[in-house]
Amino acid sequence: MAENTAIIVQTQFADAKAAALLTLMGLLALRRPVPISFASFSPLALGTLALITVSILLCLWALTPRFRGRIGKSKGAPGDRFTWTVLSNPDTSMHDHADFARSGDFAHLINSISMSNVGASMVLRRKFNAMQVAFGCAVLAILSSVFALET
């Protein structure tokens, strides 16, 4: 169960980082990070705006949790009665699930939680990968903004 809690906390942390970076990049974009004239766009201005845009899009992508392909659409493995994909399926009966939870085998619960942890871990890995690239783009955007203000 501690593994499940750790994954949840790490997911919340990844979401908080994405929201903070999204806010920072939004503020940077709205404050016109580089002097832009209507007559011409400098390569530095376009590059900075592109980096800000990529960073914002990656933050939004990281904030949208999802399971790929069959994991999110599956009815679960045979005997799986506890994962969120099974519980959120319209074919799942509330009463049947409650009866099974009261009388079911503890091994089924552990197996279902483990399968759920694997799926959540895959989502978490994608979030952190996206955030690494987003932070890299953000650092480059901030540096190019500072450079543009000095020139």
Is residue 131 helix, strand or coil? helix
CA distance linking residue 84 with residue 30, whole number of Å: 39
CB 29 within 8 A of CB 85: no
Residue for token digits 């580089």? 34
How open is the CA angle 89-92-114, to the nearest 5 degrees? 70
Placement of tokens 């939870």 in the chain: 101
Nearest partner of 136 among 62, 54, 49, 44, judged by Cα: 54
- pLDDT tens by residue, 83-105: 666 677 777 777 777 777 777 67
74 pLDDT band (50/70/90 cuts)?
Answer: low
Select the more confidently predicted residue: 18 or 101: 18
Q: What confidence score (pLDDT) does residue 39 get? A: 42
pTM for this predicted structure? 0.71
Lowest mean pLDDT among 25-29, 41-45, 134-138: 41-45
**In which band, very low, low, confident or very high, does the pLDDT at 67 lie, cut at 50, 70 and 90?**
low
| Alpha carbons within 13 A on the beta-carbon side of 25 | 28
DSSP 8-class letter at 78: T
